[in-house]
Amino acid sequence: GGSGLLPFPSGSATVSDKLVWDVWMSQHHLTVTTVALNLGLFDWLHGKRAAGGATATEVAAGLSTGPRSTEAVLAVLGGLGFLRCCGGKFTLTEEARNFLLKDSPFFWGHMLQGDKSGDAYTRLLKAVENDRPSAGAWKEWQDGELSDERAAFLTAEMHSHSLTAAFGVGAAVDFSGVTRFLDVAGGSGVFTFAVCRANEGVSGTVLELPAVCRLVEGKYRPADLAERVDTTSLNMFTEDWPEGYQVHFFSNIFHDWSREQCVGLARSSFKALPSGGRIMLHEMLLNDAKDGGLTAACFSIHMLIHTPGKQYSLEDLRSILGEAGFVDVKAQATHPYYSIVTGTKP
């Protein structure tokens, strides 16, 4: 333990990783558009123009799709510029009217729908039609049963896409007065390392499943933080949480789970925190109209395919945290796409 076999950088990257996020999430641009064409979404919405468009709930009812998948698809199409949302109602843009309606002489659909045999298309269509994940490791996480091999693979994935964002949190968030930081389902511990490096008075604990805790201590934890960062292994859904921490931090955790499960996690946090303690959610927020931004919306599609969750808006998270008892819920941007949403226990 404490050998820090994977070197943890001494400072942040010299540029933001926004470009890489955009490229990675662009994998969903074509599949979402093609699935929407296949479902007849554009023609159906065009038929609602006399009513000033349709809400996400009405679209879901009209297309017989679930609320979660409908919201995710509409957000991507809004971010791409094929839909706009006004007063909660979605309508087609000129681009969609010209190129995505079947009776338009300029219809692009024959080309866009040319190959429906690809894995990405099939997985998304299945997830949209069933409103449940068609892939992913969420069941292993939920049941607390992660093999060493799966843990190594998944932890490496999460570490690579979290490192730049972690430095953003360390640099931007005020942890004055905090001495103990609990990183819930913290993966490699990357956020704990960044926060502890930026705040000498803070010690951190990575709360994870046993196989991941072994990786944190044996592979990821930098040698200089061996005395300040430890791990505790438990299943966050079924076991009591440790007490004595002023901050409970969750990065990319709420987006993995349903609203009901998120309320449960928030209640567990509320119970274990002291008065004045804070919950911090590091998430890529959908805008309140839920018609973008594009990368956050594509991330919601990613969650639709791989988890029972979705990207939430600030209002969604304010509602979840409020239901658990937290007050003074606010957001602070820490990255071109990520924000910290903080709630305080009275």
The pLDDT assigned to 3 comes to 46
pLDDT surpassing 60 at residue 289: yes
Give the residue ranges of DSSP H helices in the chain.
18-25, 27-39, 41-46, 56-63, 67-80, 94-99, 109-112, 119-130, 138-143, 148-172, 190-198, 210-215, 259-272, 294-306, 314-324
The pLDDT assigned to 140 comes to 76
Strands 203-208 and 180-184 turn out to be: parallel
Over residues 107-111, the mean pLDDT reads 94
The pLDDT assigned to 72 comes to 96
The pLDDT assigned to 5 comes to 65
pLDDT confidence tier of residue 223, bands split at 50, 70 and 90 = very high
pLDDT confidence tier of residue 115, bands split at 50, 70 and 90 = low
Tell me the pLDDT of the chain averaged across its residues: 94
Sheet holding 247-251, edge to edge: 229-233, 203-208, 180-184, 247-251, 278-284, 338-344, 327-333
- Tens digits of per-residue pLDDT, 45-60? 999 999 999 999 999 9
pLDDT confidence tier of residue 240, bands split at 50, 70 and 90 = very high
Name the percent of the chain lying above pLDDT 70.
98
pLDDT confidence tier of residue 143, bands split at 50, 70 and 90 = confident
The larger pLDDT score, comparing residue 219 to residue 6, is at 219
Handedness of CA 8, 208, 279, 296 (dihedral sign): positive
Largest Cα span, the chain: 68
Over residues 261-269, the mean pLDDT reads 98
pLDDT surpassing 70 at residue 66: yes
The pLDDT assigned to 252 comes to 97
CA dist 161 and 158 (Å) reads: 5
pLDDT surpassing 50 at residue 164: yes
Provide CB contacts within 8 A for 300, sequence distance 6+: 71, 72, 75, 76, 255, 286, 310, 311
CA dist 248 and 205 (Å) reads: 10
Of 41, 33, 78, the residue nearest 58 (C-alpha): 41
